[in-house]
Chains A and B, each alone.
Chain A
């Protein structure tokens, strides 16, 4: 059963809301590119990967009308299926070019397809999709939150500075830092919950946040764990972005 948020988002996609598509691209583009790169196993160039990731979302826009939530597919699987379909199309095109040029099709394309079929939605991919959702939530909070408040959270949690150091840097007292941290953390919990729900088609996907240490209704003792989990996800996602940047160079 789709949540209302998801239904609304899918409706926007169906209505060709470009901002919604950009949101999707910005959030999951690096994940799709990383997956296509893995499938390619170094045999497809970075330009091709860039093109294919764009084509994946283009294909997604074509298939969104045919999507049936009752079939119970995960959001991540949905993305992956489209990416695989696009990769398959690309292989077909290459085969056709080879036939047209009078050359025998190489076994390379066959191997790619087999490889792609075997890889499937593995844990690494699922984890990457989840991280992308959390990253999207962090970005949302950054937009909604006061700049100083969010900077305090960034310095304290992402930059691993002590409360005292942050207080000195910003020029406020430590209790103020704690208060502002709590405020941002609370907002983050809300947004993580909402974003994960937004990009989830199944209950299992919606429960991923808690499985990854992001308790959405925590006790105070869980704050540290929440921060640690969020920082880890942030750093992993930053690494993915760095790889994606190298791909884009």
Chain B
């Protein structure tokens, strides 16, 4: 120490003073970090334990529902609840995995302990299918389809059934260009089922538009019912998928991979929306429950509110709260018309809300200002906010939003992606803002619909104004939208330019094909409106073969091609039947588990009741009164167990014996007891019941009873027993049972006869006399079991 120079010591001291606090702070920080780590670990473990408990309780709620639905024949519902059980079991397994492996490796926050009960149960209950078959009296049958199950109805009040088309129907679909329609969903509205006429008409208006895009396969309307047929899309609703993703992830939100998957689904949704908007339609009810996720992608379903973007109808507030733009409500309340607003922007809002919902596993309760409680990459936040922001500032089109989403998907590390890299921000998207297409007029495609549709038409469609922009739509970035002839093969629109001469021209047709012309000047006819059949033929698939008629050779070639396609599709269909991704209401393993639990529960109760060592309750003893043919002196009381009751026997109420237990009766097995009665039948229940109970107990205890058995009842008596019984039966009604002489006489009789150790004699005074070789017991019949027991025990001791 003395060797160290003082200046060095001073320097070291100064360094220590400077560095010491820093090191101390760092150490304290490190310590705090470690403590937080431990507490997070403990918190995570406790959370998962609570989640397991919650899932078990939830499963126990579902088990009886599965069993009840099986019992009442609702296979779809039982399969549904079975799937819910499967989901709960999966959640338990995931939680157990986290407790054993996940938590030690990484940190977890708090989770929803009662998530199962608070969220999944109500949702699964709400989504439960209805009847497997439509009520024939109300909904009737659907020609050409076999109903195989049902789906939960949406908010529009329609009933949804899953069906398989018959072979003829299938062929019809093939002919109309719908390949591989294996299963369909039939949405039906019946006046008898509670639907209203305006509701039906609204659905039908939507249908006319959806049909043009090939979304609807077929429709039909009767005076009381309207239904349409769509393809069945197997899978789960996006909301449920998101919940499952969140259930298996930590409280820190979705993992990178899960987030990518979710963004992919929303990209699918946005892509569908872009197509709809391009086709002149607006879905209007985009929400997680209307997005079905199969193994590959997400599909938008439920066309109940779908509306042409250029509709002349007044804007309504229909939609689902939290996924419906508040601005749309404001516009609707101001009385705006649909064609005055850009409906596509409301779909974009909803797409943003869906993205928020899957990231947060919650609703965007605060609209565009909704807070993010879970980690969310900046780029995704930006997309959500951009799509949910004010009407004038959000994405101009679904395509623009899709470009941003695809950038996110293409990025390997979402967290590192900055909003500045998104095409919509850096301005390199070059996504053209699509003009709002001129929608086809909403045609009444069914004669039966003509009247109600007319009655509820708020206003006629305005003539198409190619240069017209929506009144509420903002200016697109590139200036006013360029409108003109459609170069993508869209059907030209016929416009009458002179009603007097019948002059017309086709807007949107190729320049060389749209000279102003007079349509068949002699008749001054405007083009005939398309029939329903024609609409179906040209509309489906979105490609028009307007006015194109093939020659005979081409028709034959086309027919051969169709036949080849049909064969090919049939082969595909057969192979697809083995494909698991089909609607399935068969019993799944969740259902099996529930049934197993229920059977186990019932079996357990049964076992607990019949377990040896507990007090036995005799509930099956019955007594039969039959005439004693052998003695000829009136009937005897013959006691037997129910399996020995013959066709002529009468069954009496069961009697419970709690006083005598098999343990108490041990030691009297092998004893032979003879039963006799001075009373004539029928005996009162007050006498009969104790006797039959006593007999039952004796039988259980291994005591052999001798009475006037007939051949068909119980074991027949041997000849010596018959003789002994007959010798004693002769004295019935003649002896004074209470006297000592009788007691001595029977005692001596018992000593002579080895076939009987005791005689139980019901006297005419309704008392029970029990004789053994050494004793006589008298008592009330009501105490028969105890009296016989005491007598036999004391005789055994003697």
Contact = CB atoms under 8 A, between A and B. Distances in A.
Chain B associates with chain A: yes
B368 interface: yes
A103 B365 CA distance: 41
A242 B329 CA distance: 21
Contact of B365 (A142, A158, A159, A242): A242
A147 B418 CA distance: 16
Task: Place the interface of chain A in its size category.
Answer: 20 to 34
Given A22-B329, A147-B386, A147-B389, A169 B365 contact: no
B334 interface: yes
A234 B370 CA distance: 10
A113 B425 CA distance: 56
Nearest to A147: B393
A150 B122 CA distance: 38
B244 interface: no
A170 B419 contact: yes
Interface string B339-375: 0000000000000000000000011011111111000
Interface string B295-332: 00000000000000000000000000110001001100
B766 to A, nearest CB: 51
Interface in A137-151: 138-139, 142-143, 146-148, 150-151
B393 A146 contact: yes
Interface string B376-403: 0010011001100110011000000000
A235 to B, nearest CB: 7
Contact of B420 (A155, A171, A237, A241): A171
A114 B431 CA distance: 62
B365 A241 contact: yes
B390 A241 contact: no
Interface in A12-35: 18-19, 22, 26
Nearest to B322: A245
A169 B420 contact: yes
B385 A154 contact: yes
Contacts of B38: none
B426 A171 contact: yes
A202 to B, nearest CB: 28
Contact of B382 (A18, A139, A151, A234): A151
A142 B366 contact: no
Majority secondary structure of chain A interface residues (helix, strand, loop or mixed): helix
A249 interface: yes
B57 interface: no
A215 interface: no
B330 A22 contact: yes
Contacts of A159: 372, 381
Contact of A169 (B330, B362, B367, B418): B418
Nearest to B368: A142
Interface in A118-163: 135, 138-139, 142-143, 146-148, 150-151, 154-155, 158-159
Contacts of A224: none
A142 B326 CA distance: 14
Contacts of B420: 168-171
Among B333, B334, B365, B394, find the residue whose CB has the most chain A CB atoms closer than 10 A.
B365
B365 A249 contact: no
B330 A245 contact: no
A142 B390 contact: yes
Contacts of A244: 365
B393 A135 contact: no
A142 B369 contact: yes
Interface string A213-228: 0000000000000000
Interface of B: 119, 122, 321-322, 326, 329-330, 333-334, 362-363, 365-372, 378, 381-382, 385-386, 389-390, 393-394, 418-420, 425-426
24 contacts: A18-B333, A19-B333, A19-B334, A135-B369, A139-B369, A147-B386, A147-B394, A154-B385, A155-B378, A169-B382, A169-B418, A169-B420, A171-B418, A171-B420, A171-B425, A171-B426, A234-B371, A235-B371, A237-B366, A238-B369, A241-B365, A244-B365, A245-B362, A245-B363
Given A151-B385, A151-B386, A241-B370, 6 more contacts: A22-B329, A147-B390, A234-B371, A238-B371, A241-B366, A249-B119
Q: Which 7 residue pairs are nearest across A and B when measured between Cβ atoms?
A: A171-B420, A245-B365, A238-B371, A18-B333, A241-B365, A147-B393, A143-B390
Interface of A: 18-19, 22, 26, 135, 138-139, 142-143, 146-148, 150-151, 154-155, 158-159, 168-171, 234-235, 237-238, 241-242, 244-245, 248-249
